[in-house]
Amino acid sequence: RKIVFATGNAGKMKEIREILADTEWEVFSMKEMGIDIPIEENGATFEANAVIKAKAVSEFCGEIVLADDSGLEIDYLNKEPGIYSARYMGEDTSYRIKNANLIERLSGVPDEERTARFVCAIAAAFPDGEIITTYGEVEGRIGYEEKGENGFGYDPIFYLPERGRSTAELSNDEKNEISHRGKALRKMKEELKKKL
Ligand code: ITT
């Protein structure tokens, strides 16, 4: 079974391959498919944006296409950056700078008000037009400094109190086991197994 994953984010793609490693599906990235089409992510929710991406690419290539729309919700900042997580401070701004900025915006905020979550919507678009979506989240807190070298994006500032580590300090397997992406994608795996 061939599955195309509509993402241009290498960090996501790596985790997606790991999470789908126990399936018999052949997973192709957009890059491997040679697909480079403009997609306007103008949805109001993670789910809507995941559907926009999966649908656009499925209509383009005629394959079963999955997409991931995800982000970081910080409660103290009214759930910012949320669906704008990739665009926060500009797409080309480094995560060193974005992470430092978020820590700065939370300076003086006590532990119990630093709650945050990573959320992930996965959408599957089929050539017959059917759409399936799944959702996952993981609760944590914004740290006081960047920690860890694994993962990508906001992982170095996303602290898991019960583990005493950031998600950038977890091994790949540990992160996938608890992450928003792991949860949403494992649900999608079950949905696809039913349908295929
Ligand atoms: P695609 O749309 O091509 O998949 P993107 O990076 O633009 O890539 P999103 O619009 O879904 O994807 O933005 C998600 C952003 O949220 C991502 O760029 C990270 O900044 C952040 N993010 C999502 N999951 C994360 C994770 O597991 N660890 C750290 N940051 C994460």
Per-residue pLDDT tens over the stretch 94-137: 999 999 999 999 999 999 999 999 999 999 999 999 999 999 99
For ligand 1, mutation pick of 12, 142, 165, 167 (most atoms within 8 Å of CB): 12
90 vs 82: CA distance, rounded Å: 14
Q: Of 68, 69, 92, 111, which one is the catalytic site residue?
A: 69
pLDDT at 26: 96
pLDDT at 192: 96
Pocket of ligand 1 (CB under 6 A): 7-9, 12, 68-72, 85-86, 118, 151-155, 179, 181
191 vs 188: CA distance, rounded Å: 5
Q: Has residue 196 got a pLDDT over 90?
A: no
CA distance to 80, 107, 142, per residue, from 51 (Å): 21, 36, 29
For ligand 1, mutation pick of 137, 154, 172 (most atoms within 8 Å of CB): 154
pLDDT in tens, 73-101: 999 999 999 999 999 999 999 999 999 99
Task: Read off the CATH number of the domain in which 80 is found.
Answer: 3.90.950.10
Of all protein residues, the one whose alpha carbon is nearest to atom 18 of ligand 1 is 86
pLDDT at 87: 97
Of all protein residues, the one whose alpha carbon is nearest to atom 7 of ligand 1 is 86
- Residue 82 and residue 120 in contact, taking contact as beta carbons nearer than 8 Å: no
Nearest-atom number in ligand 1 for the CA of 9 is 8
Q: How many domains does one find in the chain?
A: 1
Q: Calculate how far, in angstroms, residue 86's C-alpha sits from the geometric centre of ligand 1.
A: 6
pLDDT in tens, 22-50: 999 999 999 999 999 999 999 999 999 99
pLDDT in tens, 130-189: 999 999 999 999 999 999 999 999 999 999 999 999 999 999 999 999 999 999 999 999
- Residue 32 and residue 45 in contact, taking contact as beta carbons nearer than 8 Å: no
Of all protein residues, the one whose alpha carbon is nearest to atom 31 of ligand 1 is 153
Provide the residue range defining the domain that includes 42: 2-195
Q: What is the DSSP letter of 149?
A: S
**69 belongs to the catalytic site:** yes
